[in-house]
């Protein structure tokens, strides 16, 4: 018996399968916002075939999506492929896992909810999550174990692409850290500004979060570029690239 979990982001979609609490497979693919349910079903079948995963073992599915059109398409694709209803991650589905102290809980993104649930379960409370995706999201769980809000800023790749598009003399540069902060080439200068700049921006925001809370907290980094940025941060204490999938598993089990 396997649980299928899907995290649909604006840029990338992360898919995983669990047996119990063990993540047995995970895939990261580009999000194609125009894909239909049939195209998604074909993509899933191809991923399963490439890793020799038996789709017949899937007995449950949970979905986090920030792309409304794809929420419907993924729900239909899973229903067609497995004959299953998909549990959609939303604030109403996390009762008993985390409290929410937020004026309009229905506004909270599904990925933010899943991240917060997993972080509290794995790292205790208080805890802060930094999710490096299309946006850089910071989620705050206070010492009571309540999700109390967060910060949304342009993501690393979003900022980099804006720079490359507007500064026509700068070619696309690999998003890795240079050997030193003062670049000795255009590529190194860009890498320094993007990678070290993001790490310092996040650290500055986290210090403001701690000042508002009145105490510090463990900080967990997740998302596609977490491993690149986290090692240059002074405030990030943990890196967990599959945190959102873990949150989906916990939410599914709570509701099942």
Q: How high is the pLDDT of residue 164?
A: 79
Distance CA 63, CA 15 (A): 9
Enumerate residues 6+ apart whose C-beta is below 8 A from 211.
none
Instruction: Give the rounded distance of the alpha carbon of 191 from its chain centre.
Output: 23
Q: How high is the pLDDT of residue 201?
A: 97
Q: Give SS3 for 246.
A: helix
What are the tokens at 24?
């047995």
Q: What does the pLDDT look like over 77-126, one tens digit per residue?
A: 999 999 999 999 999 999 999 999 999 999 999 999 999 999 999 999 99
Instruction: Give the rounded distance of the alpha carbon of 238 from its chain centre.
Output: 14
* 3-state secondary structure string across 73-113: HHHHHHHHHHCCCCEECCHHHCCCCCEECCCCHHHCCHHHH
Q: How high is the pLDDT of residue 158?
A: 86
Active site (catalytic) residues: 111
- pLDDT means per 10 residues, the chain with 256 residues, are 96 97 97 96 96 96 96 97 96 94 95 97 98 95 98 90 75 83 91 93 98 98 94 97 97 95
Radius of gyration, CA atoms only, the chain: 19
Give the HSE-up count for residue 220: Cα atoms under 13 Å, Cβ half-sphere.
25
């Amino acid at each position: 018996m396997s649980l299928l979990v899907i995290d649909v982001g604006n840029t990338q979609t992360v898919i995983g399968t669990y047996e119990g609490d063990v993540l047995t497979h995970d895939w990261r693919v580009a999000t194609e916002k125009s894909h239909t349910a049939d195209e998604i079903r074909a993509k899933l079948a191809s991923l399963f075939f490439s890793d020799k995963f038996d789709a017949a073992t899937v007995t449950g599915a949970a979905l986090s999506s920030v792309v409304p059109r794809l929420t419907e398409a993924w729900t239909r694709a899973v229903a067609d492929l497995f004959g299953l209803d998909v549990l959609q991650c939303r604030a109403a589905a996390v009762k008993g896992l985390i409290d929410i102290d937020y004026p309009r809980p229905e506004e909270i993104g599904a990925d933010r909810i899943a991240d917060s649930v997993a972080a509290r379960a794995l790292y205790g409370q208080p805890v802060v999550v930094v999710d490096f995706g299309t946006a850089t999201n910071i989620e705050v769980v206070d010492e009571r174990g309540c999700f109390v809000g967060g910060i949304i800023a342009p993501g690393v790749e979003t900022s980099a692409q804006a720079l490359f598009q507007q500064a026509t003399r700068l070619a696309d540069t690999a998003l890795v850290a240079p050997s030193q902060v003062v670049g000795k080439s255009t590529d190194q200068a860009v890498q320094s500004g993007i990678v070290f700049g993001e790490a310092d921006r996040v650290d500055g925001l986290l210090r403001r979060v701690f000042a508002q809370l009145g105490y510090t907290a463990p900080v967990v980094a997740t998302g596609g570029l977490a491993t690149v940025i986290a090692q240059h941060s002074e405030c990030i204490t943990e890196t967990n690239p599959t945190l959102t999938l873990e949150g989906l598993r916990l939410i599914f089990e709570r509701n099942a």
